[in-house]
Amino acid sequence: EAGVTQSPTHLIKTRGQQATLRCSPISGHTSVYWYQQALGLGLQFLLWYDEGEERNRGNFPPRFSGRQFPNYSSELNVNALELEDSALYLCASVGLAEETQYFGPGTRLLVL
């Protein structure tokens, strides 16, 4: 069974640009979580999507947004990029009525 996949693996942008990151959950999983892992920091909860809806967001500004598609894949958009947005962005999926979050390999975003 394929795990969570993310694309691209690396992304280089300049300040002020927009970035789009993609995540495909494990087959059958309906929930997707996004986390930011900045250098030297732990993982910080960004967004939670379930059944196509945004259910909750962490303590991040509105320029971090996303969506979940009918096939349960998800997209994270970061607008007006700032230098401090440079980080590893991880998504995790959870099955219906399950608890364990399984992570993808992440997208490393570098903002210059």
Instruction: Catalog residues that contact another protein under the rule CB under 8 A.
Output: 4, 6, 31, 33, 35, 41-46, 48, 55-56, 58, 90, 94, 99-106
Least Å from the CB of residue 39 to another protein: 12
- The strands making up 74-78's β-sheet, listed across from edge to edge, are 5-7, 19-24, 74-78, 64-68
Least Å from the CB of residue 65 to another protein: 16
Residue 93 in tokens: 């999926």
Strands 10-13 and 5-7: unpaired
Least Å from the CB of residue 16 to another protein: 28
Cis peptide before 8 (omega within 30 of 0): yes
Closer to another protein by CB, 15 or 34: give it: 34
